């Protein structure tokens, strides 16, 4: 469709890119299996609905303490993640640093937790590190890119010599600070979700009891834990203020000091035995026979797990990415003052529009807080086993996140007084202005989506994460580590590709001055 345009404008580049992504997703749709094989899901769905409508708290102390643990892990994780991320961001222009950041964030929180559990047990340190490490990688990327994109005017007024740290602190940091703070506060919300999910592998957060209740079919109890999570996330903006942060920090470190009894023996065994490829254990590296058996070991893994895992992860990731994008575009008005307060509630005063906007964002909070795992289970009940529930689960979760961010972003747009309304406003004013930003957010989520394909084993979709989980289940840590490295490599490649696209299309991640 771009052929009708005589000039090679930046808009046509964006259109072309979107077209290619959509075409590739459609092609993937032909390859994968999206059969619907539904029979009678209604009995189970009825139980779930009844449970959702009648939440019951089975034990208040358990609920309160798991709520506190969830918050404590999240805040500690983000704090250490932000410090680590800031330090890494200072060197973000070096490819090696970027690759390192992409590596640490490519490993799902659950797998970090499973790794640390082998040496530090189920301890508060395990929970802290499982969040802090991948978050440091993510925040380093965000901070690093913010630093790259600050208005160079301030720096251009300085002499070009002496570009040192004080130069950075006076010309770059102040300009990036607001966006950094805003994004970091958003990461607290993500960290609370991550922290809750860590309960799935045994840490005492909300997810522990939520998963337990779901697997037993106690939907009323599950609802209580889920509503508690929603309430925690939804009320963050009411009580998590910057000036109160020191109080909360002291409180969480006092309540849940990061500690673990690390046994040297376990650590030594882990690095010198567990993660050493099986054919290498106790063998001499330089004998031809060992090399042969390592080759055989790797070859078998490649055929049975790595290659099919890579293909499935990429296919699922690609379709989910496009679905996420479509959903985000559809959902963004829910969190945008341009649409909510300009709708039929216009003129009824700010209170009402604030309220409807709150309701709109609540829907997004609900959608993005539903664990993908739960979405996949419901999808599985309704649609039967295929990639479809996985695409829905990943799309709904990530679409709601991008929709929320985009909605917030539209608030920065200054419209003319006589701007149009409704669909015209959306398609002709807002969408063109936010499209670069939209693609930038979507590329961020690309790697997240790839990482999240890991936890959909219930659907029997053999992604890399599925095989990593299987390797942990059978105590083959060498295989788990190899697969983790493969998925990290995939993530780094995607990150590099997204960076290339961003550069080419000059997608800005900071709000444009309009």
122 and 128 Cβ atoms separated by less than 8 Å: no
Q: Measuring CA to CA, which residue among 81, 194, 179, 234 is closest to residue 440?
A: 179
- Decide whether 213 or 329 has the Cβ nearer to another protein: 213
Q: Measuring CA to CA, which residue among 469, 507, 473, 509 is closest to residue 487?
A: 469
By CB under 8 A, what part of segment 238-267 binds another protein? Answer: 261-267
Asked if 37 touches another protein (CB under 8 A), the answer is yes
By CB under 8 A, what part of segment 121-150 binds another protein? Answer: 121-122
Q: Which residue in 39, 95, 164, 166 binds another protein (CB under 8 A)?
A: 39
The secondary structure of the chain in percent helix, strand, coil, rounded to multiples of 5, reads 80, 0, 20
- Decide whether 475 or 500 has the Cβ nearer to another protein: 475
196 and 206 Cβ atoms separated by less than 8 Å: yes
Q: How far is CA 117 from CA 192, 269, 379, 498, in A?
A: 20, 13, 31, 33
Q: Which residue in 361, 429, 469, 495 binds another protein (CB under 8 A)?
A: 469
Question: Pattern 388-427, binding to another protein, x per CB under 8 A?
Answer: ----------------------------------------
Q: Which residue in 237, 281, 296, 421 binds another protein (CB under 8 A)?
A: 281
> What distance in Å separates the CA atoms of residue 446 and residue 498, rounded to the nearest whole number?
8
Shortest reach from residue 57's CB to another protein, in Å: 12
Q: Which residue in 87, 177, 273, 500 binds another protein (CB under 8 A)?
A: 273
> What distance in Å separates the CA atoms of residue 64 and residue 205, rounded to the nearest whole number?
10
> What distance in Å separates the CA atoms of residue 204 and residue 132, rounded to the nearest whole number?
17
- Decide whether 282 or 288 has the Cβ nearer to another protein: 282
508 and 440 Cβ atoms separated by less than 8 Å: yes
Asked if 216 touches another protein (CB under 8 A), the answer is yes
> What distance in Å separates the CA atoms of residue 250 and residue 241, rounded to the nearest whole number?
14
Asked if 457 touches another protein (CB under 8 A), the answer is yes
Shortest reach from residue 220's CB to another protein, in Å: 11
> What distance in Å separates the CA atoms of residue 488 and residue 493, rounded to the nearest whole number?
9
Give the list of residues 6+ apart from residue 440 with CB closer than 8 angstroms, or none.
502, 507, 508, 509
Question: Pattern 340-379, binding to another protein, x per CB under 8 A?
Answer: -------------------------------------x--
- Decide whether 143 or 377 has the Cβ nearer to another protein: 377
Shortest reach from residue 342's CB to another protein, in Å: 43
> What distance in Å separates the CA atoms of residue 374 and residue 334, rounded to the nearest whole number?
23
Asked if 43 touches another protein (CB under 8 A), the answer is yes
Shortest reach from residue 285's CB to another protein, in Å: 5
- Decide whether 188 or 461 has the Cβ nearer to another protein: 461
Shortest reach from residue 11's CB to another protein, in Å: 43
Q: Measuring CA to CA, which residue among 282, 145, 130, 261 is closest to residue 205?
A: 130
- Decide whether 83 or 330 has the Cβ nearer to another protein: 83
Asked if 465 touches another protein (CB under 8 A), the answer is no
Q: How far is CA 455 from CA 102, 133, 197, 317, 474, in A?
A: 20, 19, 10, 13, 17
By CB under 8 A, what part of segment 475-504 binds another protein? Answer: 475
Residues 333, 337, 340: CA angle, nearest 5 degrees = 60
Q: Which residue in 73, 80, 112, 200 binds another protein (CB under 8 A)?
A: 200
By CB under 8 A, what part of segment 63-102 binds another protein? Answer: none
Binding site for another protein (CB under 8 A): 33, 37-41, 43-44, 58, 117-118, 121-122, 199-202, 208-209, 211-213, 215-218, 221, 261-268, 271-273, 275-276, 278, 280-286, 377, 380-381, 384-386, 457-460, 462, 469-470, 472-475
């Amino acid at each position: 469709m771009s052929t009708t345009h005589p000039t090679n404008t930046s808009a046509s580049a964006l259109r072309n890119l979107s077209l290619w992504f959509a075409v590739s997703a459609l092609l993937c749709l032909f390859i994968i299996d999206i059969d619907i094989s539904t029979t009678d899901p209604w009995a189970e769905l009825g139980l779930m609905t009844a449970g959702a409508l009648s939440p019951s708290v089975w034990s208040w102390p358990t609920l309160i303490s798991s709520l506190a643990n969830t918050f404590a892990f999240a805040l500690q994780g983000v704090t250490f993640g932000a410090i680590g991320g800031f330090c890494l961001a200072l060197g973000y222009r070096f490819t090696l640093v970027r690759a390192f950041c992409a590596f640490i964030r490519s490993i799902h929180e659950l797998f970090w937790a499973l790794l640390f559990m082998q040496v530090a047990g189920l301890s508060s340190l395990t929970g802290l590190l499982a969040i802090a490490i991948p978050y440091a990688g993510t925040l380093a990327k965000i901070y690093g890119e913010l630093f790259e994109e600050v208005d160079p005017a301030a720096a251009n007024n300085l002499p070009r010599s002496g570009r040192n740290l004080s130069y950075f602190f006076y010309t770059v940091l102040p300009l990036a600070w607001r966006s950094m703070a805003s994004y970091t506060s958003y990461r607290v919300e993500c960290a609370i979700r991550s922290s809750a999910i860590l309960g799935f592998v045994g840490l005492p957060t909300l997810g522990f009891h939520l998963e337990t209740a779901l697997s037993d079919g106690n939907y009323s109890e599950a609802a209580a834990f889920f509503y508690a999570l929603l309430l925690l996330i939804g009320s963050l903006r009411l009580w998590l203020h910057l000036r109160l942060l020191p109080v909360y920090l002291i409180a969480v470190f006092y309540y849940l000091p990061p500690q673990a009894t690390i046994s040297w023996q376990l650590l030594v065994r882990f690095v010198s035995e567990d993660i050493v490829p099986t054919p290498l254990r106790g063998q001499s590296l330089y004998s031809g026979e060992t090399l042969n058996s390592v080759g055989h070991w790797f070859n078998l893994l490649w055929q049975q797990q790595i290659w099919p895992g890579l293909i499935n992860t990429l296919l699922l990731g690609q379709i989910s990415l496009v679905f996420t994008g479509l959903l985000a575009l559809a959902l963004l008005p829910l969190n945008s003052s341009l649409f909510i307060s300009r709708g039929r509630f216009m003129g009824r005063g700010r209170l009402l529009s604030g309220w409807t906007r709150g309701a709109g964002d609540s829907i997004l909070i609900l959608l993005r807080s539903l664990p993908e795992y739960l979405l996949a289970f419901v999808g599985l009940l309704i649609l039967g086993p295929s990639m479809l529930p996985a695409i829905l689960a990943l799309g709904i979760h990530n679409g709601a996140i991008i929709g929320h961010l985009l909605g917030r972003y539209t608030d920065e747009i200054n419209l003319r007084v006589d701007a149009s309304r409704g669909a015209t406003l959306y398609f002709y004013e807002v969408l063109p202005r936010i499209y670069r930003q939209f693609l930038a957010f979507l590329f961020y989520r690309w790697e997240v989506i790839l990482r999240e394909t890991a936890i959909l084993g219930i659907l029997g979709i053999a992604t890399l994460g599925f095989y990593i989980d299987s390797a942990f289940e059978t105590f083959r840590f060498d295989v788990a580590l190899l697969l983790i490295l493969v998925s990290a490599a995939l993530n780094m490649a995607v990150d590099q590709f997204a960076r290339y696209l961003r550069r080419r299309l000059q997608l800005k991640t900071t709000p444009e001055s309009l």
